A and B are shown apart, each in its own frame.
Chain A
Amino acid sequence: MCSISFISLFFFSLLSFTMGLIFIMNDFTIFIEWEVVSMNSLMIVMTILLDWMSLIFMSFVLMISSLVIYYSKEYMESDYKINRFIMLVLMFVTSMMLLIISPNLISILLGWDGLGLVSYCLVIYFQNIKSYNAGMLTALSNRIGDVALLLAIAWMLNYGSWNYIFYLDVMQSDSEMLIVGMLVMLAAMTKSAQIPFSSWLPAAMAAPTPVSALVHSSTLVTAGVYLLIRFNIVLSTSWMGNLLLLLSGLTMFMAGLGANYEFDLKKIIALSTLSQLGLMMSILSMGYYKLAFFHLLTHALFKALLFMCAGAIIHNMNNNQDIRLMGSLSLMMPLTSSCFNVANLALCGMPFLAGFYSKDLILEMVSFSYINLFSFFLYFFSTGLTVCYSFRLVYYSMTGDSNFSSLNMLNDEGWVMLKSMMGLLILSIVGGSMLSWLIFPTPEVIILPLNLKLLTLFVCIIGGLMGYLISNVSLFFMNKALSNYNFSYFLGSMWFMPYISTYGIINYPLILGKMSIKSFDQGWSEYFGGQQLYYNLVKNSQLNQMLQNNNLKIYLLSFIFWIVILYMYMICF
C-alpha cells in the first residue's frame, strides 16, 4: 500500500512539475469546467484551473506527500491499521489537490471542508485524551473558517457566479466584494492559524509525526495563504491589508517568543511554522504575493525535512519529545543530525540554502517599501528570534552532553526514513535557487543603504549568539526566566491564547444549552404546549364531575332562588 502510493504520487509530482515549467515558459493557462446545476442566471460549476502557480504548488505538495508516505512506511510500521492511515493521508492529499486547482468558491469549499475533516481524523489518530482535545480544537477552529467561506459564497451570489478569478478588478472597488474579501480573510486566518486562532497549531502536534510533516508544515496551513494569494487584490487596495499586516506580524512575533520558552520538540517546530506563516501572511498583506508564494514553497521543503528528522529522533528516544532529555545526537545519529542542521540553517536563512532566497528577498523588500516602525521592528526582531530558537534547539539536541538514559539504542539505521530525508535534503539545498530562477525571471530592483542591507545578517548573527548563550547555563545559574515567572509564562504559553480558546469560551454554549433544555424544552414550551393544556383539561373535567355529582342539589337550589326572585318581583309590583 505504501509503495504503490509512494510511486504514483512521485510520478504525479514529476509530471505536474514538468507541466508547470512548460506553463511558466509559455504563459499558458487551462480552464476546465463542469456544470453541476444552473438555475436562472446562476451556475454552480466544478472548475479546474491549471496555471503555473497551481501546478508548481501541486508538484511540491505531491512530492512532499510521496516522501512522507514512504517515510511513514517505517515510522508507522508497528501500527495495525497502517492501511487506514495511508488512506487518510491520500484523502488529505486529494482534498489539497482539489483546493489548489479550483478558482471557484464552491469547488474550493470541496477541498476546504475536506481538509478540515481529514485533518481532524488524522489528529485524533492515536486514541488518547490529548489527541481528542487537540482534534476537537483543530476541527472547530477550522470550522469557523468553513462557516466564513459559506457566508462568502452567499454574499458572492450578488455577482452571479463564484469564479473569483474573473472578478479581480471588481474586487478593488465594490462594497459587496469587500465583505466577501473580509470573510475570505477570516477563513484564511483560521486555516493558517493567525492570531486569534493560533491555538490549534501547537495542539495539533498530538498527531503522528508524518501527519505533522505533511499537514502542519506544508499543506494544511498553507491553504489559507494560498487562498489569500488568489484574493490578493482585495488586500492591497483596502484597509484589510493593514489589519492583516498587524495580525500576522504579531503572530510572527508571538510564535517566535513562544518557541524560545518551549521544551517539547514538536511544539518548537510547530511554533516555528506558525512564525513563518506569519511572515508569509504579512508579506502577502503588503501586496507582494509572488514573494509569499515563493516563501511558501521553500518553507514547505525544509519544514517537512525538519519534522521528519524530529520523527526519527523521537523514535530513537523511545517516544520522548522533551529536548531537555536529548543531547549529543550529532555523535550518535550523524546523518539525521546533518539533515536537521541543514534544515535549521535553511530556516534561519543561511546564504544560498533554500530559505535564504525567499527570506532575504522578503526582508529586503520590506526595508525597501513604505512601512511603519512597529511592523519593521516585528519583522526583524522575529527573524532574530527565529535564529535564536533554532540555535537553542541545536544546543539542546545536537551539541552538549547526553541527557538521555544510559541504556539506549540511538542509531541512524532507519534506512527508509533516511532515504526520504535525503530526498528532501537535496531539494532544500537546491530548491530555493531553482525556484527563484523560475518564478522571478527578472530580479527585483532593490536599492538599500548599507545599514539596512547588513541588518538582516546582523540580526541573524546576534540571534544565533543569543540563542546559544542563553541555553548554555550551568547548574547553579539563576535562571532569568524562572525569576520573572509570570512574564515568561505569558510569553511562553502563546499569550494565553490556548486557554482563551478552550476554557474561555466553552462555558457559554454549554450554559446556554442547559438553559435551553431546562427553560424552553422542559419549561415554557411545555407550559404553552402539552402539559399545561392537559392540566387545564383535567381540572375542568373535575369541575364538571363535581357539578354532575351535585346536580340535584344545584337544581333544587336554583329552584329556591327562582322562587325567591319571583316572590320579590311580586312584592315590588
Chain B
Amino acid sequence: MFNNSSKIMFLTILMMGSLIAISANSWMGAWMGLEINLLAFIPLMSDNKLMSTEASLKYFLTQALASSVFLFAVILFLLNTGKNNANLMEMIILSSLLLKSGSAPFHFWFPNVMEGLSWINALILMTWQKIAPLMLISYVIFKPLIIISIILSSFIGALGGLNQTSLRKLMAYSSINHLGWMLAAMYNSNIWLMYFLFYTFLTFSMVLMFNMFKISYINQLFSLFFHEKSIKFFLFFNLLSLGGLPPFLGFLPKMFVIQSLTMNNQLFLLTFMVMMTLITLYFYIRLCYSAFMLNYYENSWMTFSYYKSSNMKLLLTFSYISTFGLFLTSSLYFFF
C-alpha cells in the first residue's frame, strides 16, 4: 500500500474529508467533507489490474448525484426557517445520505463497484466510507424512511448474498445487511457507533485473510491449504462471528441492538431483521464448509510461506479476539 507516495496523500485527504464531515458545525461543512472524501477516493480506486475504471466511474456518478441532491436539500432546509415541511427536507437529506452509504433501496451501485476494487480499497469502501454518512444520518432520523430502509437493507442484503459466487459481491451484500442493523441501532443514539466498530473489526480480519491469500471467488476457498488444518479451522471463526452467532464476538453488537429495539417496542421489525440475519448466516456457513470438513482431499501444491509474516500474526490475533471476544469484553464490563 505504501509503495506509492501519491497514495499516501490521497489516503490522508480521504481521512481528512471524513473528519471534516463529522466535526462540521453546519450542513455546508458536512457537504464539503463529503465532497473531499469522494474526490480523494476516486484516484485511490483506479490502480490495479481489475476492471477498476468501470467501478470508479459508477462510484463517481452515483456519489456525485448524491452530493448534489444533498446540497440541494441542505439549501432548501436552510431557506425554510419556518419548518412547515421539515419532513420533506429531512426525507431528501436522508435519501441522499442513504445513497451515499449504500443502503437499500439505493444500493444498486454497491456490489458492482465492489467487484472492481482490490481488497484494500473494498475495505475502505465498506468501512471508512460509511463513517461520515452514518454520522450525518444520526442527526436526521426520519422514522418512516429509515424503517423502510432498514427492512429493505436487511432483506436485500440477505437475499442478494445467496446467489453470489464472487467474494467481493458477497461481502458487499453482507455490508448492506449490517448497514440495516446500524440504521436500526440509531433508535438509541450511541449504539450504532459500537456496532460499527465491531463490524469494522470483523470485516477487517476477513479482508485481511482474503487479501493475504489473494482469493476472490468461493471455489478458491477450497484450495486454501495450510499445513495444519486447525489454522484454517480457527481462521474461519471470523466468518461465523460476522454472522452474529453466539458465543462469538459478533453477537455482542447484535445483542445491544436487539435490546435497544425491544426497549422501544419495535418487536416486529426486530423479528424480521433477525430472520434475515439467519439467511446471511447460511451463506457464511457455505463459505466455511472447506474449513470445517476435516477429512476432504485438498490440493497441497499451493504452499504459502505465511508463517513468518506479521500479517499472519495479526490475522491470528484478530481471529482469537473474535472467537473469545465475547467473554473478554464481558469480563471487562464486569471489572470496570
| A484 CB-CB contact with B under 8 Å | no
| B190 CB-CB contact with A under 8 Å | no
* Docked complex Cα distance between A476 and B161 (Å): 91
Q: Which residues of A contact B162 (CB under 8 A)?
A: 537-538, 541
Interface centre among A537, A542, A547 (most CB of B within 10 A): A537
| B113 CB-CB contact with A under 8 Å | no
| A544 CB-CB contact with B under 8 Å | yes
**Residue on B nearest A547 in the bound complex, by CB:** B108
A545 x B108 contact (CB < 8 A): no
Indicate with 1 or 0, residue by residue over A533-573, a CB within 8 angstroms of chain B CB atoms.
Answer: 00001101110110110010001000000000000000000
A538 x B163 contact (CB < 8 A): yes
Q: Which residues of B contact A555 (CB under 8 A)?
A: 108
* Docked complex Cα distance between A115 and B162 (Å): 59
Q: Which of B137-164 contact A (CB under 8 A)?
A: 156, 159-163
Q: Which of B92-112 contact A (CB under 8 A)?
A: 108, 111-112
Output the least CB separation between A428 and chain B (Å): 70
A544 x B108 contact (CB < 8 A): no
Q: Which listed residue, A541, A542, A548, touches B111 by the CB 8 Å rule?
A: A548
Indicate with 1 or 0, residue by residue over A514-549, a CB within 8 angstroms of chain B CB atoms.
Answer: 000000000000000000000001101110110110
* Docked complex Cα distance between A542 and B163 (Å): 7
Output the least CB separation between A532 and chain B (Å): 15
Interface centre among A538, A541, A542, A555 (most CB of B within 10 A): A541
Q: Which residues of B contact A545 (CB under 8 A)?
A: 160, 163
* Docked complex Cα distance between A90 and B163 (Å): 67
Q: Which residues of B contact A542 (CB under 8 A)?
A: 163
Main secondary structure of the interface of B (DSSP, over half): helix
Interface centre among B111, B112, B162, B279 (most CB of A within 10 A): B162
**Residue on B nearest A543 in the bound complex, by CB:** B159
B108 x A537 contact (CB < 8 A): no
**Residue on A nearest B283 in the bound complex, by CB:** A541
**Residue on B nearest A545 in the bound complex, by CB:** B163
Q: Which listed residue, A538, A540, A541, A551, touches B108 by the CB 8 Å rule?
A: A551
Q: Which of A483-511 contact B (CB under 8 A)?
A: none
Q: Which residues of A contact B161 (CB under 8 A)?
A: 541
Q: Which residues of B contact A541 (CB under 8 A)?
A: 159-163
Q: Which of B147-190 contact A (CB under 8 A)?
A: 156, 159-163
Output the least CB separation between B17 and chain A (Å): 27
Q: Which residues of A contact B156 (CB under 8 A)?
A: 544
* Docked complex Cα distance between A27 and B93 (Å): 103
* Docked complex Cα distance between A249 and B34 (Å): 101
A540 x B111 contact (CB < 8 A): no
* Docked complex Cα distance between A544 and B111 (Å): 12
* Docked complex Cα distance between A537 and B280 (Å): 11
Q: Which residues of A contact B163 (CB under 8 A)?
A: 538, 541-542, 544-545
Q: Which of B74-107 contact A (CB under 8 A)?
A: none
A537 x B159 contact (CB < 8 A): yes
* Docked complex Cα distance between A540 and B161 (Å): 11
B160 x A548 contact (CB < 8 A): yes
* Docked complex Cα distance between A541 and B283 (Å): 12
Output the least CB separation between A487 and chain B (Å): 68
Q: Which residues of B contact A540 (CB under 8 A)?
A: 159
Output the least CB separation between B277 and chain A (Å): 14
Q: Which residues of A contact B279 (CB under 8 A)?
A: 537
Output the least CB separation between A184 and chain B (Å): 53
Interface centre among B112, B159, B160, B279 (most CB of A within 10 A): B159
* Docked complex Cα distance between A559 and B108 (Å): 16
* Docked complex Cα distance between A548 and B111 (Å): 9
Q: Which residues of B contact A538 (CB under 8 A)?
A: 162-163
* Docked complex Cα distance between A109 and B159 (Å): 58
Output the least CB separation between A531 and chain B (Å): 14
Interface centre among A542, A544, A555 (most CB of B within 10 A): A544
Output the least CB separation between A515 and chain B (Å): 32
* Docked complex Cα distance between A541 and B49 (Å): 30
* Docked complex Cα distance between A296 and B163 (Å): 78
Output the least CB separation between A543 and chain B (Å): 8
* Docked complex Cα distance between A551 and B112 (Å): 11
**Residue on B nearest A534 in the bound complex, by CB:** B282
**Residue on B nearest A540 in the bound complex, by CB:** B159
Output the least CB separation between B58 and chain A (Å): 9
Output the least CB separation between A460 and chain B (Å): 79
Q: Which residues of A contact B160 (CB under 8 A)?
A: 541, 544-545, 548
Interface centre among B111, B161, B163 (most CB of A within 10 A): B163
**Residue on A nearest B163 in the bound complex, by CB:** A541
Output the least CB separation between B105 and chain A (Å): 10
Indicate with 1 or 0, residue by residue over A104-146, a CB within 8 angstroms of chain B CB atoms.
Answer: 0000000000000000000000000000000000000000000
Indicate with 1 or 0, residue by residue over B265-292, a CB within 8 angstroms of chain A CB atoms.
Answer: 0000000000000010000000000000
Extra contacts, 15 of them, besides A542-B163, A547-B108 (Cβ < 8 A), are A537-B162, A538-B162, A538-B163, A540-B159, A541-B161, A541-B162, A541-B163, A544-B156, A544-B163, A548-B108, A548-B111, A548-B112, A548-B160, A551-B108, A555-B108
Which A residues contact B (CB, under 8 angstroms)? 537-538, 540-542, 544-545, 547-548, 551, 555
23 A–B contacts, CB within 8 A, in A order: A537-B162, A537-B279, A538-B162, A538-B163, A540-B159, A541-B159, A541-B160, A541-B161, A541-B163, A542-B163, A544-B156, A544-B159, A544-B160, A544-B163, A545-B160, A545-B163, A547-B108, A548-B108, A548-B111, A548-B112, A548-B160, A551-B108, A555-B108
Instruction: Please name the 10 residue pairs, one residue from A and one from B, whose CB atoms are nearest each other, closest first.
Output: A551-B108, A541-B162, A541-B163, A541-B159, A545-B163, A544-B159, A544-B160, A540-B159, A542-B163, A537-B162
